[in-house]
Amino acid sequence: MPTVVAETIAELRACLTTARSEGSSVALVPTMGALHEGHLALIQRARELADVVVVSIFVNPLQFAAGEDLDKYPRTFDEDLAHLEELDAALLFLPSVDEVYPDGQKQTKVVAGHVGSLYEGRTRLGHFDGVLTIVAKLLNIVQPDVVVFGQKDAQQVFLVQRMVIDLNMPVRVEVVQTVREPDGLALSSRNRFLDVKEKRAALGLSIALEAAESSADRGTDAVLAAAQSAVAGAALVDLDYLALVDPKTFLPVDDNYQGKAIVLIAARVGTTRLIDNETIFLSRRS
């Protein structure tokens, strides 16, 4: 069925008012477009959770630092709309920058706090302030019953969950596992920037995560060493960070930590920056 495209907040809210008057529940899937199978998995999950699915496509300038790829970020509206219609996603929210930020730079922003300054936040200053600000705005605009994110952006997921708790937002956050290509590469809109050699080299990230998981029974030092060794010799891969964090706090685990942990990795492959992560279970060292 055709997807309704709302370009203004007023248009979207009018559609949602009608849907809610009929007793429909609402799910939101925030995206920046260039939809791939990972996004489609989020939309499919949203369709299982709610009667009406709102997919937003907005390339948010607040989360791009100076010198980042805002201008070249892929914009593929026709392909995205075709995907949405195949999935029967009912509503596409496609606002302009002026619609979302009518007065330009906002004075009121959501600040991500200490965790927002680590890992991705250390490399991309202010990134998560921009992410949380736009997510908060979208949640206020749509007022969904559930919002759906992908685990590939693990730090983003953690910070959104904290924001929802800390600000008492009446929404459930649903997290969908990372979707990968058959060779293990995590799906990303930026993968399209990789040439054949770079795409092969990018497998170094998922190989490093596999190495980390295989060492989980030997403690934190062994996990990080195994991942570091796996990625060290990968041609074209320039490692940015490798970290092992507690999913409850998103802070680095100590040497004696046991239980669930998340291995985070980020690297530049050629000129393209990629991230990935894997949840593992650390047991006591022998």
- Give the residue numbers marked as catalytic: 39
Residue type, 29: V
Distance of alpha carbon 115 from alpha carbon 282, whole angstroms: 22
Beta pairing, strands 172-176 & 237-245: unpaired
- Which tokens belong to 12? 């979207």
Residue type, 70: L
Contact (CB, 8 A) for 112 and 121: yes
- Which helix (H) or strand (E) covers residue 239, if one does? strand 237-245
Contact (CB, 8 A) for 159 and 131: yes
Dihedral of the alpha carbons of 92, 95, 96, 98, in degrees to the nearest 10? 180
Contact (CB, 8 A) for 248 and 269: no
- Which tokens belong to 214? 């295989």
